Structure 1
Amino acid sequence: MINPERFHKIRRLLEQRQPDLTVVMDNVNKPHNLAAIIRTCDSVGIETIHAVSNRPSIRKKQKTAGGSTRWVQLSLHESMENLANTLKSNGTRLLAAHYSSTSVDFRSIDYTRPTAIVMGAEKLGPSSDTISLVDQAIHIPMQGMAESLNVSVAAAVILFEAQRQRLAAGCYEKIALEKETLEKRLFELAYPSIAEKLAMQAKPYPPLDEEGRLLD
């Protein structure tokens, strides 16, 4: 039986999730960076993030990092093109964190719109193929000798700007997750062991009362 206070905290977390804001990690492979980005995504209310790599070794690291937290769902992909097409078909705009002659200051973007922020591999940034698929490149202005920030730090800077804008717009005050999705995730987060067993048996989750008690 889950503590009612914790149950209400989890429900409140899900009620503030922003399903139309996400991050795409393009071949990001260092475990500490992956884990840091995932923690930041949880902090700003992101429900699902994406990781792309055509190399099994990188996908294994990405999957391991995703398993380090149950609060954010990680979806793995082998093709950036397929993922980009899927996101765009849902009305999501793709922004690549990448400095170029056509990139714009990250603070000039309206992050209250459905947005996917693409973060590239350490040192190299997003691949040229990825850059060709996004709608806009953005950059963080730098006044020092360093040309760029660590990928996890850059992701945090951009994501907390997105959070700032969404807080000001009242995005966190309305429930954005679909009711069925919210209830499913609520059960999984409140009763992870039971949820895992039921999923393996292809059985539905039992309903919960307002205090998180199992009704069946």
Structure 2
Amino acid sequence: EMSVLAKAHGYVVGCAPAQSYFDCRCLQMGSQTRAGEGVPFPECEFSYSLTLAPYETSWHPEFLHQGRNCYAYLVGKFGYETFDWISIQLYETNSHAEWATTSAAGAKQQTVKEYLDDLAADFEKGYCIRVPDSGEVLEVRIPRDRLVWGFSFGRHAAGKFLVQNFAASLPDADGFRGAVFWNVEIDGTGLETDDKSDPDKFLHMARELAKLFGRIRIERSMA
């Protein structure tokens, strides 16, 4: 409700959930698609808990720090129009994105570009969640013009989804809201490389992302 009021008073409102908090891929097991005005909406799992194991049961079942669409509830309840941008933090530890783009996925493994292409399409088509205490069935979607990709920084971000070649890995940036990464204070510092002798080889994520999106706004976020 605070986001709704802020939007109504002219503020820019954003939302930055970890991927498991807003996941269009955690399909409800055994469920059928729900018809909404002739369009089938897949149903995804929902929970208020933030102490769940990853959706893929063989993927770090000991890691009890994920959720199931708790942020999707806000968009389903109040509409995506409430938020100017929604950043999906693909760098969440043991994220679904990491699973899908590594050998852990087996025959289902995808390249980063394939995965992000499909993920964007699924968010745009939408899905539904069922809220257990109220019985509400909420339809959720993120249009491309509000979707922001959230990345981790550099190869030393061990155990997290990592993109090293944005030009080859990202879908066509046209139509997307943009991208963010954690965090700008270490951009271009050489933190990601063991060889500090050649600054020209340091990773500059803001610069590389700007080449793809054509515009970029750099902001410092204080935790």
Q: TM-score, normalization: structure 2?
A: 0.25
Higher relative contact order (CA 8 A, sep 6+): 1
Q: TM-score, normalization: structure 1?
A: 0.26
Point out the structure with the larger helix share.
Answer: 1
